[in-house]
Structure 1
Amino acid sequence: MDFKTAPVIIDALVKRAKIGLMGFTLADDKYLSSIRWWMKNMRDWEIEKDWIVPTYGTIHSVATTIRAFTEEGDGVIVQPPVYNRYEQAVRRTNREIVSNPLIYKDGKYSMDFDDLERCMKVDKNRLFVLCNPHNPIAKVWRPSDLEIISSLAQRYNVLVFSDEIFGEITFNGNSTIPYAKVAGNESHSIVATSLGKVFNFTGVNNAN
């Protein structure tokens, strides 16, 4: 947020605005191929075109997922301290927020998997929102963390929504591994990605 977006993006937005057509746009082959290229080269993740669903941002994706895959009164699991707009989306759709707090010890955060299993065991808790890298603590979750989540989610039939909007912003040799890559193509999961954070244009409200 401290830097302007890349000049090539500014130029593309200006060019688009000057065309003057502000109506609906469709995800054509060029767009879908670009997303596939990015995921392969930046995330080391091979995806198919028909997996890609363009949305108006990751929070829009969370809210849409909540409406599509849960009922009013169902529980949605989050891991505080975490981005507060998850809870807003849950409450605005008349679902219940279920907290699985992260453990803070010796200056580091980790997941409480025993408590996560306790949360997932409850039948009405149908959705788990994972944030990777985690906002606000900037933790990049390890493959072993994602594997445990996947195992629990499959055991208790919980849908995992992985918000990976910060996926390109990593340091010290870390890299974000997409949740679905670890969980497998047949996993019960949704991964939300966006270039909004890495190129600072979240105001455009675009995600996949």
Structure 2
Amino acid sequence: MVNLMKLEMKKNKFGWYFKGAVIANLLIVLFMCFIPYADGLEGRSTYSGLTEALGLVGTFVRVTFVIFASVLFAKLIIDEYKNNTISVLFTYPIQRKKIILAKIILITGMTFIVIVVSNVFVAGSFVIVNDYSHFVQNDLTSNWISLEFVNIIVQAIAATGMSLISLYFGMRKKSVPTTIVSSLLIIGVVNSNNGGFTLSSIIAIPLTLGLIGVCVAYFTFRNIDRVDIV
């Protein structure tokens, strides 16, 4: 399995992905700093405190990299089925299920790691900038780092699982746009803000959707060794 993932990494150059991740992180940091600065000039307060601001950081990061994950699924799986290049891989003396599983593990692993690292980077950057600029009132408790890190891990697991749902819709239509649009709809609904409330704030909801995503991916490819998905 590890060798299959290494093969995927050699075949698909992921430089664009990591460059995009760095750019996205910097843009999120700039946006998080610009909004309270601009509102401060008008005498308004954007966030009630750092707790709310860090919650928004998590939302931006998850939305961004679930979309990135859908692009990876589209590129590494959907596009290969659409162009029938997957048939070349299926000529290898390896179970088809293992080939697809290696792709899924690679993408979900990258997604999870990038969400965690990005959350830590963006949240840490915003807290440091806020210490100097005082954009937002510091309402963090003494153990906020440990609590925030646990929340980041749990939300990253849920978001990674949710990203798999878009794979199901993409495979049904063999469509790259469908894969990306479905991920936008799912992550948009879960993280939409309604008067300060989001579905993702009830951790059971994103975790349940994440579990559904894993189940959906399994049922999508469970018979792949016996039946071609064309």
Q: Shared topology, TM-score over 0.5? A: no
TM-score, structure 1 normalization: 0.29
Higher relative contact order structure (alpha carbons within 8 Å, sequence separation ≥ 6): 2
Structure (1/2) with the larger strand percentage: 1
Between Structure 1 and Structure 2, which shows a larger proportion of helix residues?
2
